[in-house]
Amino acid sequence: MVHDGSSVVPDKAGLPDRCGNIGIPYPDLAMIPTCFREETSTFQLYRNGSYNLQDINECANPEKNSCFKNYCRNTIGSYDCYCPDHYDGNGINETEGGSGCTHSRKQAPVMPLIFGPSLGMLFLVIVSFWIYWVFQKRKLIKLKEEFFLQNGGMLLQQHLISCERSAETIKIFTSEELRNATDNYHESHILGRGGYGTVYKGTLSDKRIVAIKKSKIIDNDQIEQFINEVFILSQINHRNVVKLLGCCLETEVPLLVYEYIENGTLYSHIHSEHKYSLSWHIRLRIATETAEALAYLHSFASQPIIHRDIKSTNILLNNQYASKVSDFGASRLVALDQTQLSTLVQGTMGYLDPEYLHTCILTDKSDVYSFGVVLVELLTGKKVLCFEKPEEERNLAMFFVSTMKQNCLINVLDVVVKEGELDQIQEVANLAKRCLRLSGEERPSMKEVAMELEGLRLSEKHAWMEQNLEETEHLLVESPGSFDYSNAGYETITTKVNIGR
């Protein structure tokens, strides 16, 4: 019998009767079995003489293996020690001559495993958004180009090329410039609303403050006429006419950009609680400057311009109460089916020339009638239409003419106006009455109106100078002694010095 330390191999002459502590009967003497150590196997003997050796799991009991922290894998008749991921070593306890397990110095690639898919998704989202943004931007650019052509942009550019000076007087703004100037047309920038559209206050990139008019509707059949008007109006340069700085044609409805006038409309000053700040002297100056502006438009060199919609809300005032006529030609932007205060012949009820209303024939005398209504407004301080009053007083122009025929002017004058020179006021009232004649041929021209008002202003200045001269002479006559008036200032100083001593 040969012993190798782990098994007993019997020869045919005899078999061992034990395997470890277990007795083994061998019914078949021809068998040459192997006897395993009881530490790794369990022997099972059956009644029929057969037997079975079952493996023992050393990993189930830490005391039966030499693995570090029981990092053990069971095998048939034995076991293997190992180290988990991110550890170095052979997994055998140091007491058994092994190296155990220690943390690996190389960090595990946790971040890529966790964030890799997320970053991939984020990249796809960014790429998708970028593609969408590029698509939308191209779509917006194409839409702007379509609006530019639709609103007559090419025609305006041809006008600008043909006239070198026009390029200096008018600018074609981009929609982005005006959107930035108004904070995307925020309500806080609204200066006013009307039947024709909305006016916004804007600040350009060069810090200039402008008024931007955004109309509600435009008649596409009148685009060519609109462009011609913009071209002509941009060349107007008069101190009492609001300057048209440019336009924007990249929007659905063209935008007009004007110089900003800071002190509001004449209407707001006449009909507000602070209307008494407009003395008769200021009112006469406003009327004169407005008449001069209209006379300038009617005699404009390249093409006479008829305003069509003269009213107190279209006359702006600066901080020195200088008159600025605005919105001339703007009513042509409005479609003919607009209602409310606007009419089919383009104008505002109360200011509208009756002859123009009946004949639909527009002449410069239509502006004269509307200006006559403004004169009456300045004289009376009353609104041109008031349906709360008796029927004969609802229309200011008709009521004023009736009052003049009855020689009752003083009864309708504003309280502030009564403080002025009555003879001068009577002359202005007579002029207003002539402007309100039903027949346009019987009305004066705006040039005649402007000259007459300017004459009244000069006579007012002359009377004021004569009055001051008389008062000065009166004071000199009553003053005791005689003075060398060329040195009066010096003598006064000398006297004060002597008194001081």
Instruction: Identify the DSSP state of 501.
Output: -
Are residues 201 and 209 in contact, defined by beta-carbon separation less than 8 angstroms? yes
What are the two backbone dihedrals, phi and then psi, of residue 491, each rounded to the nearest 5 degrees? Answer: -60, -40
E strands within 87-237?
87-88, 102-103, 171-172, 190-193, 197-203, 209-215
Which residues 6+ apart lie within 8 Å of 425 measured at CB?
280, 379, 409, 413, 417
E strands within 139-250?
171-172, 190-193, 197-203, 209-215, 244-248
Reference 383, options 438, 313, 318; nearest CA is 313
Are residues 332 and 222 in contact, defined by beta-carbon separation less than 8 angstroms? yes
- Give Cα separations from 444 to 367, 369, 430, 435 (angstroms): 11, 9, 12, 6
* Active-site choice (309, 364, 367, 414): 309
In whole angstroms, give the CA distance from residue 14 to residue 176: 109
Q: Quick one: 457 exposed, middle or buried, by C-beta within 10 A (0-12, 13-18, 19+)?
A: middle
The residue to which tokens 């009232």 are assigned: 429
Alpha-carbon 374 to chain mean position: 35
Query: Which H or E run includes 147?
Result: helix 110-150
In this structure, the strands spanning 171-172 and 244-248 are parallel
Reference 191, options 257, 283, 144; nearest CA is 257
In whole angstroms, give the CA distance from residue 244 to residue 258: 5
Q: Which residues pair with 199 in a beta bridge?
A: 192, 213
Is 309 annotated as catalytic? yes
Buried (b) or exposed (e) across 465-477, using 16+ Cβ within 10 A?
A: eeeeeeeeeeeee
The answer on whether 418 is annotated among ligand-binding residues is no
Q: Which residues are catalytic?
A: 309
Residues flagged as binding site for ATP: 214
